[in-house]
Structure 1
Amino acid sequence: MIRFVFSFFGAIFTAVTLGIAMVAITVGGVFWMYGRDLPSHESLAQYRPPTISRIYSGKGQLIDEFAKERRLFAPADQIPDLVKQAFISAEDKSFYTHQGFDLRGIAAAGFEAVKSRGENIRGASTITQQVMKNFLLSSDRTAERKIKELILASRVEKALDKEKILELYLNEIFLGQNSYGVAAAAQTYYNKTLTELTPAEAAYLAALAQRPGNLHPVRQMDAAVARRNYVLREMNENGYLSEAEMREGQETPLRTVQNGDFEGFRTVLPPRSYFTDEIRRQLSEDSDFRDEISRQTGRRFQDGEFFTGGFTVRATIDEEMQVIAEQALRRQLEKYDRDRGIWHGTYETLPAESLTDEATWREALANVDVPRDIELDGLWRPAVVLEVGSNDARIGIEGVETDADGHWIPANDVTWARKRNEDGSLARRAQVAGDLLGVGDVVLVRAMTRDDDGAFIRWTLRQVSEVQGGFMAMDVNTGRVISMQGGFSYQDSVFNRATQAQRQPGSSFKPFVYAAALDSGYSPATIVVDAPIEIDTPQGLWRPRNSTNKFYGPTPLRTGIEQSRNLMTIRLAQEIGMDVVAGYAERFGVYNNMGSYLANSLGSEETTLYRMVAAYAMFANGGERVTPTLVDRIQDRFGRTIYRHDKRTCADCSTPDLRPGMAPRIVSNRSRVMDAITAYQLTSMMKGVVDRGTASGVINLPVPIAGKTGTTNSARDVWFIGFSSNVVAGCYIGFDRPRSLGRGAYGSSMCGPVFQEFMTEAIKKFGGGPFAVPPGGHFIKIDRYTGARLPDDMSGPFVVAEYFRDGWEPIFGLAYDGGFAMGSNLPLFEEVAQNSGRQVTTSTGNTVTVGPKADFGTVSSGGLY
């Protein structure tokens, strides 16, 4: 009997042993099979999660951010213990003791799944396993993925310490509202840093780890509060919170940005602007700027890296001057638009069913895509027309409470405009609000106030101008762009007309012709014949003209640029050679490859305002190359500088015996684009443009200003670019689809006021002074009308002191005609004036002059004035 008992239990023991061995072999085989081709866990040690790139102003203010996934990277040593404890309590309470997986948790989850016959399946993944799933595996709910997860978790626990694993988890996890990682989530939900979180707030973030889409603080508040309180209870049981702290947290209402309890972090950010978007464009697209960063870092700047690299970008923008630039350009564009008197509104209309009550129309209006970033004499607000009366129209305004009397657009606010009919014709000038507005129309309005005390008068209609433009200002010595405006409103049109619009510069290109001439041996006193020209071209006979349709005979170079004489410029370009002119334009960066056509000397080839302003800066700084930049410095996520614009060296910064009060020497490494004396001569001539030439009467500033106007044929594009001793600024205005701006549109009359308004404030902030006279020359007084030399003691409006190189005595009285024949059949200016049009009587009985039919000479000659 005893033998039988031993034999029976021996058989059972053998079977159990063999069974265990078989299970062990089977499990080992499964783990070996799935563990052969797993991704390397070692890459986690070098993993850099995609994080937000942020742009800061020169004063350190956050002005924009860009990211594919909104994540702020937080190293483990900068994540407070409270936050770590909340997530550990919610997701993996044995995190610090297990070896990557929790067998007890897996068994409990398996038992519960069997007991519920598969209806109640809960996860049993540790934080380490979740890191493996998020970084190295997929999210498939399969046994194969779970086995791989266990294998990798055990491996990574041996390769990385617990804090590193927790760092990866807390920076990668998605917590709803496009927030990845705990730092971004704290900002999204509370507008706080991690160190500012309370236990209740940390617990809610940890609660979101389980199901972020189902615990919204507003839509699923009850579920969110319940899960938050569960996490607080777990934190108490794990010894992280006292009983009193737990109860205090559970009794605290769920207060978040989404509930309106905190101001959202996005409200602190200014609206996205042309300036920051241009930084984004230059860093995310192939550009010379990216190539420069690659040269400085020694590695290729990858596509899309800006959106994932966590860069800190220090922009060159001066926020105060940026506001001035925006206002100045908008003011001129709106003035032109209202002078045209054509109403187009926003082209948006709300359906009638959305106007039934205030809550409905406010919700509908909030979803309409109209610009909300316009500030000009007050904030422009979206509004909807609720009722049109016999004279006035009642409106509802976004962000403004409706009072008992309502808000109204009176009849006298619309009399400036005419509405365009469906056939394209213009209706009669509006007399009542209903002539422009219909019920449901979405419009823009601003509050009209009194100038003396700012008291409210009434609401007035506004609209985004159809004519557009660009403005840019930069430091002439460093190339730092201090302001840039690419249109009327970024939210209305993201196309940046300062950097992307290719337009004819017109006469604003002429300084490059004169620069080439001055460097070729000409002087400001050189005489060039201002007389008719005719050129036989494949397109026909070209007879360019001055804008006055007059010719002035032999004239000094100075007067030619001051009065923007087209014929003198063409003769000069022909004399020195268009290949020389093209070389200068390319050297200054105006063009990459300029065509050597005479019409291009008048600015008929297209370029950008960005390039033109940068080129003018080289005139202002004495002829040294300067590269425009919107960025001072870029640092990576670890604070290492990977790009620095200013490459000058400080020769004395490390000198210990530098005398008190003595500034260290800054050594410039800029190359020279043109001779310093040439740069001063040209600057002096362009100062004459402002003092008595085409820009006189518009520019009136307390420091010396030089510049040049530009107006192309039919006034399709108008320009003014000017500079003081330290700041250069330029303006361009025109329709996006080029067409005439109409009579009276000139660079001086349209862009001049923009420059004047901006530079008035820029001079107050940055100062200015006389243009520096380079060594190596001397002054000689000449008659600016005839070019004749005058005695040194002469003075008067016709006397100008020109700067000449030492050792080079100019020849006075020699005139250049460019080699053009003076044909006897070419019209004199009287004939041109007489034949420029004919008088006709209109249907209203008025007499007007209409021009002749356009020919090749009138449509292709580039700049006019």
Structure 2
Amino acid sequence: GYVTKADGEEAKKQPLGVNPRRGGAHLFASDFFAEEVRRQIIQKYGDNALYEGGLSVRTSLDPRLQIAARKALQAGLLSYDERRGFHGPVKTIEIGGDWGEPLGAVAAFSDVPEWKLAVVLSVDAQGAEIGIQPEKEASGKIVAERVTGHISTKNMQWAYRSANGDRKSAKSPEGVFGAGDVVYVEPLPEKGEYRLRQPPKVQGGLVAMDPQTGRVLAMVGGFSYGQSEFNRATQAMRQPGSSFKPFVYAAALDNGYTPASVILDAPIEIVAGGQVWRPENYGGGSAGPSTLRLGIEKSRNLMTVRLANDMGMNLVAEYAERFGIYDKMPPLLAMSLGSGETTVLRMVSAYSVLANGGKQIKPSLIDRIQDRYGKTIFRHEDRTCDNCNAGDWQSQEEPVLTDNREQVLDPMTSYQITSMMEGVVLRGTAAGKIKLDRPVAGKTGTTNDEKDAWFVGYTPDMVAGLYLGFDNPAPLGRGATGGSLAVPIFNDFMTEAVKGTRPSKFVVPEGMSMVAVNRKTGMAAQEGEPDTIIEAFKPGTGPADTFSVIGGLDQYVPPEEILKNSPQANQAVTSGSNGLF
């Protein structure tokens, strides 16, 4: 009764002017995160509750960190992919008439707005003339305007190398593509100039987390959600490689070993199931007797296997399950080198326990869920505070937030392993590649045949971890290690993440002793001894009085040869467990 029938019918014919959202997420770069939240809600409450229950969901995502994580991972994937060469055009179309219509029909990534699809109109020795994919109106009709541009040789030279074995590398733009080829391009500041791009075949996942609460602050599950909805941060089961080693060492430090304990780094043979397993250090070679610290800083496989063998793999498996890395870990020695499969989210959660002093955490993307009436039906924060909601002040005690998290690792052990992983960043496999204005601890990981490259690291306030690898695991190439591929991405992300925050130090638990020890022997350093480091020891422990080695020797090595640079060369040398001297 408010309008006439004719006016109503006319109004219905008018467009609403609605801009439909694309990619399924309101917030830019949050597609993988939002989809994981959707899956978790369906798992908890079902489809009907999600789509018809009027739920209000508050997530833990930090938009600034999410954009930084996306940018860092994408840049790392593209850098690696372009070094391998050009995969070829997206497709080839006919451009005899209006090239805009067939180009407009090609689907582009919905979540990579920096890129545009383009068709090669002509190509010569100076570059290529391209036509940019036309925009579409709300009705889906392709606009009439046609925009052209240019790719100069300097902005496509990386593509001269072919990533496919069926053709040789090019020497000029004519050998890269031809007229009608559809490619991705990125606009440059110079008007009309574009850079050639291509979707990478290598993929990866990245997660950033608050180690105190388990709140997931950022999550990237691959290069583009539009390219693939598979979330490699939560769904990809990958071998963590050497990034698992800190948990072998944490188990050792929690059970009588110290950072100065000495293990033999030498060839070893393990016979199991009628077969002989001969693990090797990355790059081969061995360093002889070395401290636990050196073993983790230099990521020595042979030392890790000997340590796990000395402790027993049942103990290592117990710790791996306690940290949530695996649900059920087979107690096999190869598992000590990270040969099992887990996810980035699980690894970041486990490192968070090391970062927060040994407290168990539950990773969560959701802070709170309320129903349509405002009633809270889920809350991630389960700590309690009895006096926090007092109506008025009546001289009562200040409110105390009760931390009811389970202590799954000795805080002193947590500090010791953190200190050792600071050495990874300062002197080890990540040396010189992390440049933050604060302490950082972390561990690289490289699997057999360089199929996966990992790094998981943390400051006192944030943990971030990532891997790179092909969806169908294949070698990334010689030298494609966690240190060369994953660490620079971590550094790029964390550089942006810590901007505007005050640096803090890892807290040394009360009661620990700080003692100068010889880096090689692990024994107390004498005054003036050059190769020393300050090591943290628990009460009742300290540097060994005599030199002893964990693990057997295949051949006798004179003590003076091992200790020739140490004033303690004349100290007695005794048998360690399974040791020959």
TM-score of the superposed pair, with normalisation by structure 2: 0.87
Q: Establish whether residue 372 from structure 1 lines up as the match of residue 116 from structure 2.
A: no
Alignment of 1:294-313 (within 5 A): 301-302=45-46, 305-313=49-57
Q: Establish whether residue 273 from structure 1 lines up as the match of residue 31 from structure 2.
A: yes
Equivalent AA in structure 1 for residue 87 of structure 2:
W
CA shift, 1:821, in A, is 5.9
Q: Establish whether residue 748 from structure 1 lines up as the match of residue 483 from structure 2.
A: yes
CA shift, 1:597, in A, is 1.0
CA shift, 1:458, in A, is 0.8
Q: Secondary structure at the match of 1:497?
A: coil
Other-structure match for 2:554: 822
**Separation in 1 of the partners of 2:53 and 2:132?**
41
Contact 1:476–1:617, Cα closer than 8 Å, also in 2: yes
Contact 1:529–1:815, Cα closer than 8 Å, also in 2: no
CA shift, 1:395, in A, is 2.3
Query: Compared with structure 1, are the counterparts of its residues 597 and 650 closer, same or farther at alpha carbon in structure 2 (3 Å cutoff)?
Result: same
CA shift, 1:473, in A, is 0.4
Deviations 1:327-351 (A, max 9, x none): 10111111111111133333x3445
Alignment of 1:542-561 (within 5 A): 542-561=277-296
Contact 2:149–2:192, Cα closer than 8 Å, also in 1: no
Q: Secondary structure at the match of 2:168?
A: strand
**Separation in 1 of the partners of 2:555 and 2:52?**
67
**Separation in 2 of the partners of 1:253 and 1:303?**
32
Q: Establish whether residue 427 from structure 1 lines up as the match of residue 205 from structure 2.
A: no
Alignment of 1:465-864 (within 5 A): 465-538=200-273, 540-655=275-390, 656-657=392-393, 664-790=399-525, 798-818=531-551, 820=552, 822=554
Alignment of 1:246-285 (within 5 A): 255-257=14-16, 261=17, 263-264=19-20, 269-270=26-27, 273-285=31-43
**Separation in 2 of the partners of 1:396 and 1:273?**
29
Deviations 1:708-746 (A, max 9, x none): 001111211110100000100001001111111112211
CA shift, 1:822, in A, is 2.0
**Separation in 2 of the partners of 1:428 and 1:810?**
58
Contact 1:694–1:748, Cα closer than 8 Å, also in 2: yes
Equivalent AA in structure 2 for residue 414 of structure 1:
M
Q: Secondary structure at the match of 2:359?
A: coil
Q: Establish whether residue 357 from structure 1 lines up as the match of residue 115 from structure 2.
A: no
Contact 2:455–2:487, Cα closer than 8 Å, also in 1: yes
In the alignment, structure 2 segments of 5+ residues that lack a partner are 136-142, 557-581
**Separation in 1 of the partners of 2:349 and 2:529?**
36
Deviations 1:686-719 (A, max 9, x none): 1111111111110121110000001111211110
**Separation in 1 of the partners of 2:406 and 2:425?**
29
**Separation in 1 of the partners of 2:434 and 2:105?**
43
Query: Compared with structure 1, are the counterparts of its residues 640 and 566 closer, same or farther at alpha carbon in structure 2 (3 Å cutoff)?
Result: same
CA shift, 1:649, in A, is 1.9
Matching residue within 1, 4, 7 for 1:229: 7
**Separation in 2 of the partners of 1:759 and 1:600?**
30
Equivalent AA in structure 1 for residue 110 of structure 2:
R
Query: Compared with structure 1, are the counterparts of its residues 498 and 264 closer, same or farther at alpha carbon in structure 2 (3 Å cutoff)?
Result: closer
CA shift, 1:664, in A, is 4.8
**Separation in 2 of the partners of 1:395 and 1:369?**
17
Query: Compared with structure 1, are the counterparts of its residues 532 and 720 closer, same or farther at alpha carbon in structure 2 (3 Å cutoff)?
Result: same
Q: Secondary structure at the match of 1:614?
A: helix
CA shift, 1:782, in A, is 0.9
**Separation in 1 of the partners of 2:167 and 2:229?**
29
Contact 1:680–1:773, Cα closer than 8 Å, also in 2: yes
Q: Establish whether residue 330 from structure 1 lines up as the match of residue 70 from structure 2.
A: no
Query: Compared with structure 1, are the counterparts of its residues 652 and 813 closer, same or farther at alpha carbon in structure 2 (3 Å cutoff)?
Result: farther
Equivalent AA in structure 1 for residue 111 of structure 2:
D
In the alignment, structure 1 segments of 5+ residues that lack a partner are 1-88, 90-198, 204-225, 232-249, 291-300, 450-454, 825-865
Alignment of 1:44-59 (within 5 A): none
**Separation in 1 of the partners of 2:413 and 2:210?**
21
Q: Secondary structure at the match of 1:667?
A: coil
**Separation in 2 of the partners of 1:583 and 1:636?**
39
Other-structure match for 2:139: none
**Separation in 1 of the partners of 2:233 and 2:210?**
16
CA shift, 1:816, in A, is 3.7
Q: Secondary structure at the match of 1:547?
A: coil
Query: Compared with structure 1, are the counterparts of its residues 568 and 668 closer, same or farther at alpha carbon in structure 2 (3 Å cutoff)?
Result: same
Contact 1:525–1:812, Cα closer than 8 Å, also in 2: no
Equivalent pairs: percent with the same residue? Answer: 44
Q: Secondary structure at the match of 1:649?
A: coil
Q: Establish whether residue 436 from structure 1 lines up as the match of residue 195 from structure 2.
A: no
- RMSD of Structure 2 on Structure 1 (CA): 2.9
Contact 1:556–1:786, Cα closer than 8 Å, also in 2: yes
CA shift, 1:264, in A, is 5.0
Contact 2:443–2:456, Cα closer than 8 Å, also in 1: yes
Matching residue within 167, 187, 208 for 1:447: 187
**Separation in 2 of the partners of 1:566 and 1:344?**
39
Deviations 1:620-649 (A, max 9, x none): 000000111111111112221111001112
Other-structure match for 2:148: 406
CA shift, 1:809, in A, is 4.6
Q: Secondary structure at the match of 2:378?
A: strand
Contact 2:521–2:547, Cα closer than 8 Å, also in 1: no
**Separation in 2 of the partners of 1:529 and 1:523?**
15
Q: Secondary structure at the match of 2:188?
A: strand
Query: Compared with structure 1, are the counterparts of its residues 592 and 265 closer, same or farther at alpha carbon in structure 2 (3 Å cutoff)?
Result: closer
**Separation in 2 of the partners of 1:402 and 1:410?**
26
- Number of positions where the alignment pairs a residue of Structure 1 with one of Structure 2: 546
Other-structure match for 1:92: none
CA shift, 1:466, in A, is 0.8
Query: Compared with structure 1, are the counterparts of its residues 371 and 789 closer, same or farther at alpha carbon in structure 2 (3 Å cutoff)?
Result: same
**Separation in 2 of the partners of 1:546 and 1:729?**
26
Contact 2:434–2:488, Cα closer than 8 Å, also in 1: yes
Other-structure match for 1:852: none
Query: Compared with structure 1, are the counterparts of its residues 636 and 335 closer, same or farther at alpha carbon in structure 2 (3 Å cutoff)?
Result: same
Query: Compared with structure 1, are the counterparts of its residues 266 and 343 closer, same or farther at alpha carbon in structure 2 (3 Å cutoff)?
Result: closer
Contact 1:652–1:658, Cα closer than 8 Å, also in 2: no
Contact 2:148–2:192, Cα closer than 8 Å, also in 1: no
CA shift, 1:372, in A, is 3.1
Q: Secondary structure at the match of 1:750?
A: helix
Q: Secondary structure at the match of 1:445?
A: strand
Equivalent AA in structure 2 for residue 309 of structure 1:
G
CA shift, 1:595, in A, is 1.1
Other-structure match for 2:159: 417
Equivalent AA in structure 2 for residue 229 of structure 1:
D
CA shift, 1:768, in A, is 3.7
**Separation in 1 of the partners of 2:191 and 2:210?**
40
